[in-house]
Amino acid sequence: PTETTACTTLTTPITPHQPITIGTPNHNTRIRLLDSALRPVPPGVPGEIYISGIGLARGYLHRPGLTAERFVADPYGPPGTRMYRTGDLARWTTDGALDYLNRTDHQVKIRGLRIELGEVEAALTALPRIAQAVAGTHTDEVSGVRLVAYLVPAPGTGGDGPLDPGTVRDQLRGTLPDHMVPTAFVVLDDLPRTTNGKVDRRALPAPDFAGRATGRAPRTPYENTLAELFAETLGVARVGADDDFFQLGGHSLLATRLINRIKAVLGGRPTIKTLFDHPTVAALARRLDPDATGTGSDESDSDDPGSALGTLLALRSGGERPPVFCVHPTGGLSWCYAALLGGLPADRPLYGLQARGAAEGGEPLPGTLREMAADYVRTLRSVQPDGPYHLLGWSFGGVVAHAMAAELRRAGQEVRLLALLDSYPVSPFAGRAGDDREPVGLLLEHAGLDPAGADGDAGDPTGLLGLVRAENSVSAQLDDERIRALVGIAANNLRLMDGYEPDAYDGDVLFFTAAEGREAGAPTPASWRPYVGGTVTEHSVDSDHLGMARPEVLREIGSVIARRLSSRP
C-alpha cells in the first residue's frame, strides 16, 4: 500500500500450479492479522491486515479525521507506535505466507450480524466442485437483506450432475455458522468481469426466488394451507409441496414470521427448530397436521389424496369455539375452504362437508337435495351435537347449507351464521325448457368448455377436469377412477337443483356477491327473500363466480366472518 512505501510483502518466484499468495513481510515490516476486537487470528482464519514498521507513513496530508481512522495505535508495539489498517482481508498459510481474500469493505451486516463476504467465498471455493465463488447481498421489500452466493463449477465436474445448491448448503453448515450460510445460490458458467478483469459485482444477476418453486402440487388441505403461508412469507407466487423453505430464500427472520403465521392460521405450537428439521411443505404437514394418519412419522399416508375424500374433512379441528362447517360446491370436495383459515382466528375449528361417493369404494349418491342436507346435518352433529351452528356454502354448497339451516331450525337448534358465497336458489341452467342434453354436457358448458369435446364425447372425464380443477386443487392428484366419480357427483348435484324449491329458514343470511363479470338478468341476493325470514346482509367481493374460491378471496371472506362472529360468538 502507498501508506507503507512501495512494497510491504514479497513472494518467492512463482511457479505453475503453486498457490498464489501475497508473500511474507519485508525486513523491518510487521504484519498482523487481527479480528474486529484487534485480537490476532490463528493460521487459516480470516483477519484484517494491519501493517507497522519503519516504512509506515505519518498519515494523510491535511486530513486528520481519515488519518485517525486508518493510522491507529499499535497495542503490540512500543508505546507511541502506530499501525496502518489496510482494509484488506487475508489469512496466514501454514508456511507463514499471506493468502489474500478480499476487501473488508465487502463486510455486510444482516439482521444485526456482521458477515465477511470473503470468508464465505473462501469456504465456498474450498469445496471440491466449486472453482470460483462470489458472495453478495440481495434486498427486497418482503424479506429484507439476504445473503446470496454465485458459483462457477469446477471444470470436469459436470459428469457428477448439476451443482446442487442443497448439497452446497449442507456442506457449508459444517464450516460456517448458520447466519453466514447463503440463503440463495446462483450457478453461473462464468463470473461477469470488468475491463480490467475484476469481478463486476453490479452485473451479477438477482436470484430468482419466484421461479425456483418446482415441487408437486399440495395433496392435502393442510399442505395446501402451508404452501400458501410459505408463498405469502417468501413473497413468491407459489410453493410446491416438496420445495424447501430455505432453498426458496427463507432465513431465520422469515422463519420466525412463518412460524407465527402458522400458529395464527393453523394453531398448534410449532417452533423454529420444527421448520429447520422439516423445511418442506410436505414434511412440515406430516409433522404438524393433527388429523393426518400417523402424524409425526415419515410413513404417514397424509400425502395420499384419497385419505381426505371422506364426507367430513377436518381443515382445523383444534379450538374452543363452535366450528364453521363448509358445504362443498358442485364438484363435491371442500378443499378450497382451507384458505378461510387465513381469515378466521386460530381457536375457531373449520370443517368441510364433502359429497358421498368421492372416496374409494363409493357410496350411493343422494336422490334429493333435502336428503343430502339431512345426511350432512347428521354428520356435523356427530362433531357438534348442539348449536349454535355456523354454516357456509359456495355456489351449489350455499343452497345445501340453507337447506341444512332449515333442517336444524326444525330440530330446535340455533343457527348463528349462514354465509352464502355467490349462491342462488336456482339451477345454473334454469330456463332451458326442452333441453334434453345430458347433465355431463351441461357441466362442460358450465366449465367454459366445448360440450362436444375434442373427440365428440361429452362424457370424457378429462374434458371435465377443467371444472373440477376450478373448484378443487386436489383433483390434479387423483386417478381416473376418482375423477370419474367426481364427474358423476357434479352431474348428480346439478340434477338435484332441477325443480328444487327451498324450504323457509327463519334466520339471517350473510351473503357474499361476486361483483365481477355479472351478466344482465343474473340472479341477485334478493332471490333468497321468499326463503329467508331474517335479514339478508350483502357483502360485495371483487371476484367473478369461480374466483370466489381463490385463496386471497376466501381469506377476505374469512376475515368478514370473523368480525361478524366476534360480535355474536
Catalytic positions are 545
DSSP codes joined into one string, 38-107: SPBPPTTS-EEEEEEETT-----TT-HHHHHHHEEE-TTSSTT-EEEEEEEEEEE-TTS-EEEEEEGGGE
CA distance 569 to 565: 5
Under 8 Å between Cβ of 540 and 515: yes
Query: How many whole angstroms separate alpha carbon 461 and alpha carbon 482?
Result: 10
Residue 269: DSSP 8-state: -
- Could you tell me which of 307, 376, 330, 360 has the C-alpha nearest to residue 488? 330
H or E element, residue 171: helix 165-172
**Intra-chain end-to-end CA distance of the chain, in Å:** 74
Report the distance separating Cα 272 and Cα 259, nearest Å.
Answer: 7
Query: Which residues make Cβ contacts (< 8 Å) with residue 177, sequence separation at least 6?
Result: none
- Distance from the Cα of residue 490 to its chain's centroid: 31
Question: What residue spans of 411-539 are helical by DSSP H?
Answer: 439-446, 461-471, 480-497
Q: Is 141 exposed, middle or buried (0-12, 13-18, 19+ CB in 10 A)?
A: exposed
